[in-house]
Amino acid sequence: MPLRKTFVSITAGVALLSQALLAHAELPDFTPLVKEASPAVVNISTTQKVPQRGSSSGMPDLEGLPPALREFFEHGVPGMPGFPGMPGSPEGPDRQREAQSLGSGLIISEDGYVLTNNHVVANAEEIIVRLPDRSELEAKLIGADPRTDVALLKIEADDLPTVKLGNSKDLEAGEWVVAIGSPFGFDHTVTAGIVSATGRSLPNENYVPFIQTDVAINPGNSGGPLFNLDGEVVGINSQIFTRSGGFMGLSFAIPIDVAMDVANQLRTEGKVSRGWLGVVIQEVNKDLAESFGLERPAGALVAQVMENSPAKKGGLQVGDVIINMNGEPILTSGDLPHLVGVLKPGSKANLEVIRDGERRNVTITIGTLPGDDELMAASGNPDTQQSSNRLGVTVAELTEEQKKAMELEQGVVINEVRNGPAARIGLRRGDVITHLNNRAIDSVETFQEVAEDLPKNRSVSMRVLRQGRASFITFELSQ
């Protein structure tokens, strides 16, 4: 090999090695953080009365595990239904037995207030907090909020070590974060990773903009703190995505800003009040964006406005696409509940919406989220029927009783679904069509007229009400 090429190769190799060593040198040292923060992280165990039923089918294979681990699993793993001692565990006839669950928590005040997850202490008859010095204290449940999965406990102690609270709003994807907790009962286990995303919406968790990380979180970590590199708590570890029951690289934490707001309300008011608009919304996909004349698929599409709700009183309409609230852009429908939920009842929300292709501003006075706002729909057998051959449905006028039951002023009910576009998009008998191609449907005659004039080879929107839930769907007609 020529000398010049050899020199170039050696130089390149040295450069790569230097880069690797430099990258290694820049990796964070978590030791000071762990030493400072660990004293304020506690283990939480609870005792519950749970029913036993059936036989021990579904029991995981514990052969090969060390005796201590086997005993732990046999006593139950929190958050993993199907294990003995947990709600839903299939063992024994209908009897009552004590079960223990394990989780983590963080001390937020020197006089003994402790934050954890609601699911760690739910239905507990006794809650025990174990401090780092191995002392155990019985805790009182001050309050819990299932919607955010936050619980506030109180232990009788003074001069306790406390965590430093950070600002979760400053978090960015790619930042290093550290979790300390008690996975599977192993106290003060430290795991580290990065922030994968912020503001994540999860199914049935509308009021928490979760922090997603790749930090190893397992049963028992629930309720424990998530720290940034400054040793500040930025989140409370709450959920994992798993197919195996263990860590798979997708962990979710409640932002500490959200958790502390809930804790302060529980401490002072004994309950949590959160803002409410009174709308059912859905994501704006590419087809809906085209149907509503939007430049891109973004915003929260209003599929339903509840009667006597703040949205109804403020003039929000079905078909409005909310793209901004109080200066915060609404990129996905999941952004809206996060922003509304933190508003205080009685405060103002300035919404920017797109209605009939034009931007409008709507001001809403925020209400208080009801305890149970589920709406039930009813369907009957109206007399007057007509059909549209293009869509393949037979529809009828709504009776006054149906309109009253569903709190509707207009719409037609589907009596029969035939082969055709309606069947392909999943329409069913009893569904109520209130809008078609951006037009309100106030009668069978209007429905027939709009259906006959539907464009071909272009996305068309339809608003459908099913069992009290409204949504927009899109379809295309080829003929």
The residues that are catalytic are 119, 149, 222
SS3 50: strand
By the 8 A CB rule, do 281 and 333 touch? yes
| Residue 261 CA: distances (Å) to CA of 115, 224, 272 | 12, 17, 9
E strand spans, 347-468: 348-355, 358-365, 367-368, 385-388, 393-397, 412-417, 432-436, 439-440, 460-466
Distance CA 411, CA 232 (A): 54
Nearest to 116 by CA among 144, 137, 147, 138: 144
By the 8 A CB rule, do 412 and 441 touch? yes
Nearest to 197 by CA among 252, 259, 258: 252
Distance CA 193, CA 234 (A): 14
Tokens of 192: 């580290």
For the residues of 280-326, what is the DSSP string, one character each?
A: EEEE--HHHHHHTT-SSS-SEEEEEE-TTSHHHHHT--TT-EEEEET
By the 8 A CB rule, do 341 and 355 touch? no
Question: DSSP secondary-structure letter at 11?
Answer: H
| Pairing relationship of beta strands 300-305 and 275-276 according to DSSP bridges | unpaired
Nearest to 254 by CA among 145, 358, 155: 145
Distance CA 107, CA 163 (A): 6
Distance CA 347, CA 365 (A): 6
Nearest to 425 by CA among 399, 462, 452: 462
Amino acid of residue 188: H
Residue 14 phi/psi, 5-degree rounding, is -65, -40
By the 8 A CB rule, do 394 and 386 touch? yes
Question: DSSP secondary-structure letter at 370?
Answer: P
Q: Which residues, listed in sequence order, are joined to residue 105 by a DSSP beta bridge?
A: 42
Distance CA 207, CA 252 (A): 14
Distance CA 105, CA 40 (A): 9
